[in-house]
């Protein structure tokens, strides 16, 4: 542990966040996501919820609000599914706290999301139990 670094971030996760560059993407995946199959790099944060991880990561990681229209991605609710992902409201509040104005969201069809995860820099496994909770972040520029 270090001063200024949220305790929930492991040394490996911090290293991955640092090594990412402008335009690289990272997926925070829920507990059932096929992370080992999809991820080029897998960082395990078993047992944690995504909101607390998201909040900690955004203290350090700039989103690509300047060069990307929608630097945040969520998995679209599937056709015919009436589920309301209430966790999205939590995400919105966390995002709004770290970026002003809040970044636009890209709603991505389920299988397209898998394809984006395979191209992402890393996939972070969590114990998040909410449905449609996977979230993708595109790194911006540190100035």
- Site residues (vs its own copies, CB under 8 A): 1-5, 7-15, 17-24, 31-37, 44-48, 52, 59-62, 121, 127, 129, 141-143
The question of whether 64 is a catalytic residue gets the answer yes
1 burial (CB, 10 Å; 0-12 / 13-18 / 19+) is exposed
When the beta carbons of 58 and 105 are compared against its own copies, the nearer one is 58
Query: Shortest distance, CB of residue 127 to its own copies, whole angstroms?
Result: 4
The question of whether 46 is a catalytic residue gets the answer no
Q: In whole angstroms, what is the distance from residue 107 CA to residue 97 CA?
A: 21
Query: Shortest distance, CB of residue 81 to its own copies, whole angstroms?
Result: 11
Asked if residue 80 lies in contact with residue 113, where contact means CB atoms within 8 angstroms, the answer is no
Catalytic residue among 48, 64, 91, 132: 64
Query: CB count, 10 Å around CB of 28?
Result: 26
Q: Cβ neighbours of residue 140 under 8 Å, at least 6 residues apart? A: 22, 62, 63, 64, 65, 66, 67, 68, 71
- Candidates 94, 96, 1, 116; CA nearest to 49 is 94
Query: Shortest distance, CB of residue 36 to its own copies, whole angstroms?
Result: 5
The residues that are catalytic are 22, 64, 114
């Amino acid at each position: 542990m270090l001063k200024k670094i949220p305790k929930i971030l492991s040394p490996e996760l911090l290293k991955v966040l640092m090594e990412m560059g402008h335009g690289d993407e990272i997926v925070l995946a829920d507990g059932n996501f096929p992370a080992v199959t999809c991820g080029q790099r897998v960082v395990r944060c078993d047992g944690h919820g995504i909101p607390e991880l998201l909040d900690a990561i955004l203290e350090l990681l700039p989103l690509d609000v300047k060069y990307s229209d929608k630097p945040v991605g969520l998995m679209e609710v599937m056709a015919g599914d009436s589920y309301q992902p209430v966790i999205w409201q939590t995400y919105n509040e966390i995002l709004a706290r770290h970026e002003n104005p809040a970044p636009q969201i890209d709603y991505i069809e389920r299988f397209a999301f898998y394809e984006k995860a395979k191209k992402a820099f890393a996939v972070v496994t969590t114990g998040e139990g909410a449905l449609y909770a996977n979230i993708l972040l595109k790194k911006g520029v540190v100035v």
